[in-house]
Structure 1
């Protein structure tokens, strides 16, 4: 004999009893029209900033699990009520993402049904930084001038561009924190071959076989020294021009104006 189906009121009660820390919990302000950030994804040129902002917004509403794959529908398969609630939350997160992309990007997502799949596709499509993107950003940085703006406005504008540059040119992880600190505190910074020799000696002393790390690992651990920092140091030390950015953490605005960069 089949028992009576649960009433609509009991279903509502079970959903309302979800703890606020549960990713299936929906706040009163959560709806498909909600705009989670103030700017839209335009493509490669602002993907990393956009994705970082969206991530923070989703984490604040405890919904990031729907895009990073940690909140799966299968986890609620034993409950029809919670499974349906997962579908609702997934659709809501998906609309939030689609609300903050350009029309061109939107057209490629309109038939999607899974927020995690869309998030992955966006990363694979737009998380690419080529020379033209970095070059255009450096040109923008180089053209920033204080003009008639206040020091505070000038600082925040330039610091924002440098943060964007840092996001676009993330360095590979070093195999040894101590070695990395030692290399980065040298002035002038060492050449690639010198940095390679230092890391190789440390690895040798630790008894790590050459085959376990390989040349590729060592190059990944050291190539940033000359490829990124040395190039930036040579390119942006403009002898008191609009700004300089060397190996230190200061941003210099003009020949006599030094502001600590946070």
Structure 2
């Protein structure tokens, strides 16, 4: 085997028939530590009250694993005749499994039969991402009623409940 430009005779990047699963930069790459029962985040999605923080944690983890394209739709399912179809299905299933392991059992039951992780992610978003209109109104009303009076700015605005 010929040596690569970096002196490593075993460089995957120089092999003409390498698989996308061998390239760490590929969204199809899975490391030895990536398995279906992995818990990517410590927070379990229990409902709307913790959805935003759970979603943020999941997005950070999926970005770190180069799998964010699977949930945001930027890596759509290839045609079944495409060479990447089986690899895409494997990675899509892996991300589905990761999500199912970090949601409560009743939430998992409601989305587990979705075959596409984009549909699963979208269903979770539609179900739990709610703008809290009454709370927004209350906060805006409280902000309008704030008066500094004899307090300094910190006491008047930042420490007040």
Q: Is TM > 0.5 for Structure 1 vs Structure 2?
A: yes
User: How much has 1:45 moved relative to structure 2?
Assistant: 1.0
- In the alignment, does 2:72 pair up with 1:48? no
SS of the residue 1:231 aligns to = helix
TM-superposition CA deviations, 1:96-128 (whole Å, max 9, x none): 011111111111012121111000011111100
How much is the aligned-residue C-alpha RMSD, in angstroms? 3.2
Are the counterparts in 2 of residues 15 and 25 from structure 1 also a CA contact under 8 Å?
A: no
Are the counterparts in 2 of residues 94 and 115 from structure 1 also a CA contact under 8 Å?
A: yes
Give the one of 35, 45, 57 matched to 2:61.
57
- Note the 1:192-207 alignment, pairs <5 A: none
Question: Whose relative contact order is higher, 1 or 2, with alpha carbons under 8 Å and at least 6 apart?
Answer: 2
1:124–1:19: structure 2 CA closer, same or farther, 3 Å change rule?
same
Give the one of 66, 69, 75 matched to 2:73.
69
CA–CA distance in 1 between the matches of 2:30 and 2:159?
A: 47
Structure 1 stretches of at least 4 aligned residues deviating more than 6 Å after TM superposition: none
TM-superposition CA deviations, 1:116-157 (whole Å, max 9, x none): 10000111111003357x4xxxxxxxxxxxxxxxxxxxxxxx
Alignment: residue pair count: 142
Residue equivalent to 1:116: 118
1:31–1:227: structure 2 CA closer, same or farther, 3 Å change rule?
same
- In the alignment, does 2:127 pair up with 1:125? yes
Give the one of 117, 128, 143 matched to 1:232.
143
CA–CA distance in 2 between the matches of 1:68 and 1:113?
A: 15
Q: Which has the larger radius of gyration?
A: 1
Unaligned runs of 5+ residues in structure 2 are 1-16
Unaligned runs of 5+ residues in structure 1 are 1-12, 135-168, 170-225, 254-262
User: How much has 1:70 moved relative to structure 2?
Assistant: 0.4
* TM-score, length-scaled by structure 2: 0.73
SS of the residue 1:48 aligns to = helix
SS of the residue 1:108 aligns to = helix
- In the alignment, does 2:18 pair up with 1:107? no
1:63–1:17: structure 2 CA closer, same or farther, 3 Å change rule?
closer
- Note the 1:12-27 alignment, pairs <5 A: 14-15=18-19, 18-27=22-31
